[in-house]
Amino acid sequence: MPILTYELGTRTTPNDRSTTGARDGYVAAIIKQDSDLRPAQVYSELAANRLAQFLGLPVAVGVAVQSRRTTDSLRFASLKAAESGLDYYDFTDHDASFDDDGDDGIVPGMHVESGHVSALQRVCQRFPLETAQIAVFDLWIGNDDRPGNLKAELSEDSFGAIFAMDQGASLLSCTDRRPLALELLRSADFPRFHAFQKLVASLYCGEMIERITAIPDWAMYAAMTFDDNVGSVTIAEQYEVCEILKDRRRFLRELVERVLL
């Protein structure tokens, strides 16, 4: 897997306590917080990001952060990738241009509602393993918000990097009402679509299902539960969504076959 690098601030200063030449600096990040639309966004981002890292998926790394002035406000910082000199196709840009092939180039059953039709096909051809992994992972965590939350280098002559970002519409934040979010996560019919549907290989999807199924319980608890509330998400709710995600593995293969293949 290519190394995803992150954007470093232009100014650094010597670290006076370092004996190895370390310097103090800042890494650019997108700061996210809970809102009326996504009331459990910080917890969902944090838990999904830790699960993705355990599984070795190409997602932008994120961490929990607090302000020096308002330490009671927990937020999520998704580190910004270093894009200078790289030719990323930005699926987050609604105005991004690409030479679409029109209806003749559309694969039957693929997702077309979010646009970027040819780019979606190209990214799945360029990164067949990574797109299958991301798609299966999204179905597992209840994320139907992948369109627009992906960047990739599509040129065959480029370094070849792809990364997913923004899992804030997954887990307890897959909708704005927490009881409904739990109900959706318990359903074998959710999500109903994915940006990569009909474009990914069954072999790689099957391998990802096996990887998720093999995650030990201790790893899921370590990724998804904490010793304190995360925003408004209580410890009990953290364990509840973890148990639901453990159970979702039972019907993950069926869900993948219905939505993706």
- The per-residue pLDDT for range 92-102, each reduced to its tens digit, is 776 555 555 45
Q: Is the CB of residue 9 less than 8 Å from the CB of residue 79? A: no
Could you tell me what percentage of the chain is helix, strand and coil, using 3-state DSSP and rounding each to the nearest 5? Answer: 40, 15, 50
Domain annotation covers residue 128: yes
Domain annotation covers residue 173: yes
For position 182, what pLDDT does the model report?
97
Q: Which parts of the chain have pLDDT scores under 50?
A: 101
Domain annotation covers residue 194: yes
Q: Which residues pair with 32 in a beta bridge?
A: 76
DSSP state of 259: H
For position 90, what pLDDT does the model report?
79
Domain annotation covers residue 18: no
For position 69, what pLDDT does the model report?
76
For position 92, what pLDDT does the model report?
74
For position 121, what pLDDT does the model report?
92
For position 71, what pLDDT does the model report?
63
For position 96, what pLDDT does the model report?
52
Q: Which residues pair with 75 in a beta bridge?
A: 65
For position 104, what pLDDT does the model report?
56
**Residue located via tokens 């790893």:** 219
Task: Map residue 156 onto helix, strand or coil.
Answer: coil
Measured distance CA(216)–CA(162) in Å, rounded:
27
For position 127, what pLDDT does the model report?
94
For position 95, what pLDDT does the model report?
53
For position 220, what pLDDT does the model report?
97
Task: Supply the range of the domain harboring residue 108.
Answer: 27-259
Domain annotation covers residue 126: yes
Domain annotation covers residue 238: yes
For position 226, what pLDDT does the model report?
96
Domain annotation covers residue 17: no
The tally of domains found in the chain comes to: 1
